[in-house]
Amino acid sequence: MPNGSANNTMQIYKVFRAGEWAQLQRDSHTAGAPVDVTDGYIHFSTAAQLRVTLSKHFGREGDLTLLACDPQALVDDLVWEPSRGGDLFPHLYRDLRMTDILWSRDIGLTPQGHDVGEIE
């Protein structure tokens, strides 16, 4: 976990477009979005990183779904690696499974940008 944190309530987040989310629901597992497949791991964000991830990689796209996972449940296959500005990002080195998902919800799109609601 980043910075040696042992916070058991921390969640990590994945954003999927409608087709990607539908494929995960249909198949019960996925190698991720095209960028994940290309990079060889599934990109996640922490709560602090999520809004910049949405802005940088999803612009003004609508029809997005936010997925939450428990990093402790993924610990055997999750690596925290430096990325944007040296910040540590969680990368999953295996398929994401429906059983990994704690919850999911639609991401709203307002004139001010994406609305993910309350996240921890």
Pairing of strands 78-82, 64-69: unpaired
- 98-113: per-residue pLDDT in tens? 999 999 999 999 888 8
Among 23, 3, 5, 2, smallest CA distance to 96 is for 23
The listed CATH number (3.40.50.2300, 3.40.50.9100, 3.20.170.20, 3.30.9.10) that belongs to domain 10-108: 3.20.170.20
Confidence of residue 97 (pLDDT cuts 50, 70, 90): very high
Predicted confidence at residue 9, as pLDDT, reads 74
Predicted confidence at residue 76, as pLDDT, reads 96
Instruction: Show the tokens assigned to 15.
Output: 């954003």
Q: Give 58: exposed, middle or buried? Use CB within 10 Å, 0-12, 13-18, 19+.
A: middle
Q: How is the chain split into domains, by residue range?
A: 10-108
Instruction: Show the tokens assigned to 90.
Output: 């969680």
Confidence of residue 5 (pLDDT cuts 50, 70, 90): very low
Position 94, amino acid:
R
pTM of structure: 0.89
Rounded to the nearest integer, the mean pLDDT of the chain is 91
- 12-33: per-residue pLDDT in tens? 999 999 999 999 999 999 999 9
pLDDT of 83 strictly over 60: yes
Q: Which of 4-8, 49-53, 65-69 shows the lowest mean pLDDT across its residues?
A: 4-8
**Are 40 and 55 contacting, i.e. CB atoms less than 8 angstroms apart?**
no
